[in-house]
């Protein structure tokens, strides 16, 4: 019976750890499998345009047989919609937001109506080897992501030395007993090591549907038996986009149809951007360039890639961090406009 259930992999991990890169790696290298990918926003995946056959507001079809679907509203509804499609799919991947505890997402699959149709294969947690936070404590989302990750992908190994990597692995070992850690650069790992691995054990969880709480049987997962009361604030109220105000995290969005001055934006990055911004991404239009620039910032590191404009030019940027002063950031970005000289 279990052979017919659709395997599901959940990709979890903190902001900027490399989840989207992993997703692209899987989509490009999967052979002969039709995969459905569920994401919070299409914009985040940056799917290679050459792959796209057709797209609607909430679904994109790719020429390798895969589909991407944005999670609109409840995760359960989106999954059901994908399962109702006439073409069969062989695999499902769900990318959670960087601020989501993977457990409620896992429970959507492990409990209730979907149990007859899908089986949760594993939770992969991507860990940023370069910007790893040694201060995480057991009430934080980052801690849960490590605790519930069946496979821990220690990423960006090319950017740190062996000593730091060992330190991160030692820290992970304190949180989790016998963790499965894979090291990677650019989230590249052999797909056979992460897909269809059958690591998620539903029987180690008891789910109380009415309360939305999860208790774990401690016989098997002694390392998980830390007191859940710290997180048992009714998990059912966790929507999957936990971006706004979890542990003081917020996101600031800014958009303008005027170009930025490259020099002013550089000044913003060098001198003004708040230390509390962990992650930023955007599509940028500079007066000095004909090209569209894709901006990513993770910790202190940022990148700008360029490509052709296909739509109307504009600047759109989202910054995510803790205790941000939204108005100050918006004012700083406004003063990057070329016209504000």
What distance in Å separates the CA atoms of residue 159 and residue 33, rounded to the nearest whole number? 32
Burial class (CB in 10 A: 0-12, 13-18, 19+), 155: buried
167-215 pLDDT tens trace = 999 999 998 888 899 999 999 998 888 888 777 754 444 333 343 444 4
For 258, the token pair is: 């005027």
Backbone dihedral region for residue 245 (phi beyond 0: left; psi -120 to 50: alpha; all else: beta) = left
Computed over every residue of the chain, the mean pLDDT equals 77
User: Is 100 strand, coil or helix?
Assistant: coil
- Identify the CATH number of the domain in which residue 273 sits: 3.30.1220.10
For 125, the token pair is: 């947690």
Number of domains in the chain: 2
- Where is the domain boundary, 188, 214, 237? 237
256 and 107 housed in the same domain: no
206 and 114 housed in the same domain: yes
109-166 pLDDT tens trace = 776 678 788 888 889 999 999 988 888 877 778 888 898 898 999 999 999 999 999 9
What is the span of the domain harbouring residue 46? 2-237
Lowest mean pLDDT segment, chosen from 24-33, 55-64, 93-102? 55-64
294-315 pLDDT tens trace = 888 877 777 777 788 888 999 9
139 and 271 housed in the same domain: no
- Where is the domain boundary, 178, 204, 237? 237
Other Cβ atoms closer than 10 A to 4: 8
Could you give the dihedral angle defined by the CA atoms of residues 103, 106, 108 and 109, in that order, rounded to the nearest 10 degrees?
A: -160
- Closest of 265, 281, 285 to residue 321, by C-alpha: 281
Is residue 315 situated within a structural domain?
A: yes
- Closest of 62, 34, 32 to residue 47, by C-alpha: 62
- Where is the domain boundary, 200, 217, 237? 237
Is residue 244 situated within a structural domain?
A: no
- Closest of 168, 164, 154, 97 to residue 126, by C-alpha: 154
**Percent of the chain topping pLDDT 70:** 78
- The answer to whether the predicted template modeling score (pTM) of the entire model surpasses 0.75 is no
pLDDT value of residue 259: 94
Give me the helices (H) in 191-292, please: 262-267
């Amino acid at each position: 019976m279990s052979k017919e259930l659709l395997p599901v992999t959940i990709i979890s991990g903190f902001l900027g750890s490399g989840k989207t890169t992993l997703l692209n790696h899987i989509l490009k290298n999967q052979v002969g499998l039709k995969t459905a990918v569920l994401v919070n926003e299409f914009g985040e995946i940056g799917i290679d345009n050459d792959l796209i056959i057709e797209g609607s507001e909430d679904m994109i079809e790719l020429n390798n047989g895969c589909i991407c679907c944005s999670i609109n509203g409840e995760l359960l509804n989106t999954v059901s919609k994908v399962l109702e499609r006439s073409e069969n799919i062989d695999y499902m991947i769900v990318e959670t937001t960087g601020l989501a505890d993977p457990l409620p997402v896992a429970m959507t699959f492990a409990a209730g109506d979907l149990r007859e149709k899908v089986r949760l294969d594993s939770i992969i947690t991507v860990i940023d080897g370069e910007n790893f936070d040694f201060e995480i404590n057991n009430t934080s989302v980052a801690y849960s992501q490590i605790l519930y990750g069946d496979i821990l992908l220690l990423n960006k190994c090319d950017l740190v030395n062996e000593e730091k990597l060992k330190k991160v692995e030692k820290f992970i070992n304190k949180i989790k007993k016998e963790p499965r850690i894979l090291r990677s650069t650019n989230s590249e790992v052999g797909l056979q090591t992460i897909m269809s691995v059958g690591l998620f054990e539903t029987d180690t969880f008891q789910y109380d549907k009415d309360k939305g709480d999860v208790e774990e049987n401690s016989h098997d997962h002694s390392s998980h038996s830390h007191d859940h009361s710290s997180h048992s604030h009714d998990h059912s109220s966790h929507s999957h986009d936990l971006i706004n105000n979890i542990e003081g995290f917020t996101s600031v969005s800014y958009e303008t149809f005027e170009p930025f001055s490259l020099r002013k934006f550089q000044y913003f990055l060098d001198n003004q951007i708040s230390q509390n911004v962990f992650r930023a991404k955007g599509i940028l239009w500079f007066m000095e360039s004909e090209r569209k620039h894709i901006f990513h910032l993770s910790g202190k590191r940022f990148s700008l890639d360029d490509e052709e404009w296909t739509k109307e030019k504009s600047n759109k940027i989202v910054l995510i961090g803790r205790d941000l002063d939204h108005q100050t950031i918006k004012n700083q970005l406004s003063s990057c406009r070329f016209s504000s000289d």
